[in-house]
Amino acid sequence: MMYMKLVTEGIKHHLSATYQSAGDSLTLCGCVVTRPHSWKQIRSLEGDECEQCASLAFSGSAAIPERASAPR
């Protein structure tokens, strides 16, 4: 699975589902990002991510919140 990583300098590096990184984004740990920021796609952890997001992301236990689910 791939995720989007918030990479704006001076901001905690949260992770989001790849299709959630535009506009208001809900991170894996439940934070809501409401301002435009820089994101990049990642396939593995880089070591500077939010601890909660990191523990959920690649452990196979990341639950994508209902409002973040892909359109059907």
- Cβ atoms of 50 and 15 within 8 Å: the answer is yes
- Cβ atoms of 68 and 20 within 8 Å: the answer is yes
Tell me which of 1 and 38 has the higher pLDDT: 38
27-56 per-position pLDDT tens digit: 999 999 888 889 999 999 999 999 999 999
Sign for the CA dihedral angle at 7, 13, 53, 59 comes to positive
How far is residue 7's CA from residue 9's CA, in Å, rounded to a whole number?
A: 6
Indicate the domain borders of the chain: 3-64
The first and second tokens of residue 13, run together, are 């590096």
Whether the model clears a pTM of 0.85, i.e. scores above it, the answer is no
